[in-house]
Structure 1
Amino acid sequence: MKDFRLHLIVLILIVVAEKIGNISITVGVGKIVLLPMMYALLMGVATAPRFTKISSEKNVKTASSLLGVTLMLLMARYGTLVGPSLPKILAASPALILQEFGNLGTIIIGVPLAVFVGLKREAIGAAHSVAREPNVALIGERFGLDGPEGRGVMGVYICGTVIGTIFFGLMASLAAAYLPFHPYALAMAAGVGSASMMTAAVGSLSAMFPQMADQIAAFGAASNMLSGLDGLYMSIWMALPFAEWLYRKSYRMKYGVDPEPPVIKNLEEGKEGEAK
């Protein structure tokens, strides 16, 4: 009850967002579907202490700690959808596993682009993944969050939290309208390890293909679960080494010299040492 004000603000935002409902905008042969989650996110940002006095810094910190609990409830709901569609998911299991390699695309595009605009080792933390909680923990353990890699991963984490759901919802709609991919494939692609981003994309796809809504939600949830399970190991064994290698190549191409060696967090001695 100490945070009654916070719960009241959230309840009002949810009611307003649900009253607005889904808004469909026709774009050529497809539709862009704006979901209540997007309105709630934008209104939540508008009530932040930086912009208004509706909420306080204490409310923001409390809301952050409750985010994990709400996502657990969301994933439990998606778990009930996976069961009835389990035969179809098992039939597509090779595709679900192989699609995880698509996450390496963030490195191929992100690292050279980040170096081109002037970032240094921040590019590795920012572009080695979609920077969700497990990736933030990995970078924090490997390099420390107060270093350049930590600044990079936290920057993408914050941007993804603020605008990621909007971007995923719009991208899923445009991909379904203009690209020759099956809705199940797009649902699998939505499972990048973020429940909120996956929900936004699945919601847009379900609105466009209501006859497949349950199956789309099941494929998205299964893909998101696999990303959470094996995504961290892929980051450790493949994504981070690949990002390091591509960073050195990109840095050498732009500046003509080799980059400075990374500073690795030494957990045993509690010190920082240079990686040789």
Structure 2
Amino acid sequence: MSVVKETMQLWRLHLAVLVLAIIAELIGIQRIPIGIGAILLLPLLYAFVMAALLNPNIIKPAARLIRAREVKAASPLIVIAIMPFIAKFGTTIGPAIDKIIAAGPALLLQELGNLGTVLIAFPIAVWVLKLGRESIGATFSIAREPNIAIIADRYTLKSPEGTGVMGVYVIGTLFGTFIFAILASVFATAGWFDPRALAMACGVGSGSMMAACTGALASALPAMKDELVALAAASNLLTYATGLYAGLFIALPMVEKLYVMARGRDDATARRAAEAGE
């Protein structure tokens, strides 16, 4: 009874979600040609933008409608809301199992693509943004829940590494779906990559990002919808299964060694200076 009562007290949040969902669906899918391809604007993107405008932490006057209580309650509901997506994608794996098996090594080896965060983001974090040990937590992965668990266990979330991983997690939660949907629609319509490769790339270990990415691909290539959804779902599942180990045993040791090579002496000098000051 208390759960029902508490839910009813959050009527502002539920009403806002319902209204935004209806508005987003009424707008529908919009296609914007950009020369090399097209950007597909999906209802999920409209809902994201409108929801962000109702966040009192971003737009102060929105606090009249959505209070801090609703904001706090909305965070854990994201996981519940994404479950229908995961369930739907899971049902597509069985019928397309032959195509998934045929993709075989490509699906397994795609996990190595996640090391791109180390190869591309780490140099920017260290030499361009001048980050300290925050760069380790920020660049060893795309900072989803399993990756946060690794950093929390190894360094604690109160450490600089914890600050880095949580910073990327928040940014990914806020803008990841938008960026994935845009990139997927551009690459799908540009014709640079095999659509099946793009579908595998959608499975990065984030349900919301995979949903946005797969939705954009399916909208651009409706004839391949079932195959693309099945490959993305299988890829996402494998990422959850193997990504934890790849991050723990490959990516994190790699980025730690790179950091020592890049900034190790600076850290040692800073520690000695701090100790001398004391």
Give me the TM-score of the superposition, normalised by structure 1: 0.89
Contact 2:218 2:225 (C-alpha < 8 Å) held by counterparts: yes
Quote the residue 1:269 is aligned against. none
Q: Which runs of 5+ in 1 are unaligned?
A: 262-276
Quote the residue 1:56 is aligned against. 67
Contact 1:112 1:250 (C-alpha < 8 Å) held by counterparts: no
Q: Is 1:46 aligned to residue 53 of structure 2?
A: yes
Q: Give the secondary-structure state (helix, strand or coil) at the position aligned to 1:92.
A: helix
Quote the residue 1:102 is aligned against. 113
| Aligned mate of 1:130, from 136, 142, 158 | 142
How far the C-alpha of 1:73 sits from its partner, in A, is 2.1
Q: After superposition, what is the alpha-carbon deviation per residue over 1:164-208, rounded to whole angstroms, capped at 9, x for unaligned?
A: 111111111222233531101000011100111111111111111
Contact 1:112 1:247 (C-alpha < 8 Å) held by counterparts: no
Q: Is 1:74 aligned to residue 81 of structure 2?
A: no
Structure 2 residue identity aligned to 1:183: P
Q: After superposition, what is the alpha-carbon deviation per residue over 1:147-180, rounded to whole angstroms, capped at 9, x for unaligned?
A: 1101100110011011111111111122223353
| Aligned mate of 1:155, from 161, 167, 174 | 167
Q: Is 1:112 aligned to residue 123 of structure 2?
A: yes
How far the C-alpha of 1:29 sits from its partner, in A, is 4.4
* CA distance in structure 2 between the partners assigned to 1:155 and 1:59 by the alignment: 22
Contact 2:37 2:187 (C-alpha < 8 Å) held by counterparts: no
| Aligned mate of 1:86, from 97, 102, 107 | 97
* CA distance in structure 1 between the partners assigned to 2:268 and 2:200 by the alignment: 38
Q: After superposition, what is the alpha-carbon deviation per residue over 1:12-32, rounded to whole angstroms, capped at 9, x for unaligned?
A: 111111111111011224211
Structure 2 residue identity aligned to 1:231: G
Structure 2 residue identity aligned to 1:153: V
Contact 1:191 1:227 (C-alpha < 8 Å) held by counterparts: yes
RMSD of aligned residue pairs (Cα, Å): 1.5
How far the C-alpha of 1:10 sits from its partner, in A, is 0.7
Structure-to-structure mapping, 1:243-262, within 5 angstroms = 243-251=255-263, 257=265, 259-260=267-268
Q: How many residues align?
A: 257
* CA distance in structure 2 between the partners assigned to 1:178 and 1:3 by the alignment: 44
Contact 1:112 1:246 (C-alpha < 8 Å) held by counterparts: no
Q: Give the secondary-structure state (helix, strand or coil) at the position aligned to 2:9.
A: coil
| Aligned mate of 1:13, from 8, 12, 20 | 20
| Aligned mate of 1:203, from 204, 208, 215 | 215
* CA distance in structure 2 between the partners assigned to 1:65 and 1:178 by the alignment: 37
Q: After superposition, what is the alpha-carbon deviation per residue over 1:230-260, rounded to whole angstroms, capped at 9, x for unaligned?
A: 11111111110011011122226xxxx2534
Q: Which runs of 5+ in 2 are unaligned?
A: 1-7, 270-278
* CA distance in structure 2 between the partners assigned to 1:250 and 1:179 by the alignment: 38
